[in-house]
Structure 1
């Protein structure tokens, strides 16, 4: 379901080709003419590509900062995990999808000390913990 939502947002923003790496940068300069003499001029297509690419990168940086600084606070655990899942979806739509294990790391980093026993058990596990398994850990 999240994939459909992310793809819809990416298509609506005309970013799909940027995100999947199919949109290569056009040449920075193209051949033009001044007084009938060939000269190199700035390529407007490159400038447009660059602006779009930078917007995608800025979005990814801002979203990663939000993930890194997220705290559970007064939210229920379900609300908190939902918020971080939404941020993870934002990363995917910006072309920087998170691995499940990385999302779990962000989630447990923002928990308060009430969750220390559970966090300790999760950190000590040898195999990665899927986000879907976290709910069972808190029940």
Structure 2
């Protein structure tokens, strides 16, 4: 969930992430005052400080949400309760989205797209999975891309199979584009023949 990732990062940078996950636990509301028969209790200043800070963080979360979502969570008493409720609301949806994106990665084919356009689409799907909390490794993404590129790129797949060293996605991207450019040059060269060139040069006085 993009919103959760951004909110968590901002609060962590402000050293307030503990209010989200509960590690910044609430102190006791009261403290003992006096001893013996004169002992009594009083409001704990530390709890008051914690509560006011927690409510500020809760307010930051709620104001950063869509209004209809915030309305469903306004009754949560603490920041942690808001954070937990958001996770429960979107956990199942995120898992469903991840499964859908994974299916797209497995089934998308290059077809009439250029290699660059096809790989941009695949990389965007992989980035979306990472934002949803399910990143995939470069080698897994490369395998999906090779499947969708088709038999014309089998030589690349073969060369990668021979090498045991993992290839970063950026290097693979450059390799595929270079291969596509070489294919285009070879196709252009094969379309030229001496006889065709002679016909082109010949005119009424050839």
- TM-score, structure 2 as length reference: 0.46
Unmatched runs of 5 consecutive residues or more in structure 2: 10-16, 22-75, 179-206
Selected match of 1:16 from 5, 27, 34: 5
Confirm or deny that 1:66 pairs with 2:104. yes
State the SS of the aligned residue for 1:110. Answer: helix
Give the Cα separation in 2 of the matches to 1:96 and 1:135: 22
- TM-score, structure 1 as length reference: 0.66
Aligned position for 2:170 = 132
Aligned position for 1:51 = 89
Q: Which has the larger radius of gyration?
A: 2
Which has more helix, going by share of residues?
A: 2
Unmatched runs of 5 consecutive residues or more in structure 1: 1-8, 25-43
Confirm or deny that 1:98 pairs with 2:136. yes
Selected match of 2:151 from 99, 113, 117: 113
Give the Cα separation in 2 of the matches to 1:136 and 1:68: 22
State the SS of the aligned residue for 1:95. Answer: coil
Once superposed, which parts of structure 1, at least 4 consecutive aligned residues long, lie more than 2 Å away? 44-51, 135-138
> Is the Cα–Cα contact under 8 Å of residues 139 and 166 in structure 2 kept in the other structure?
yes
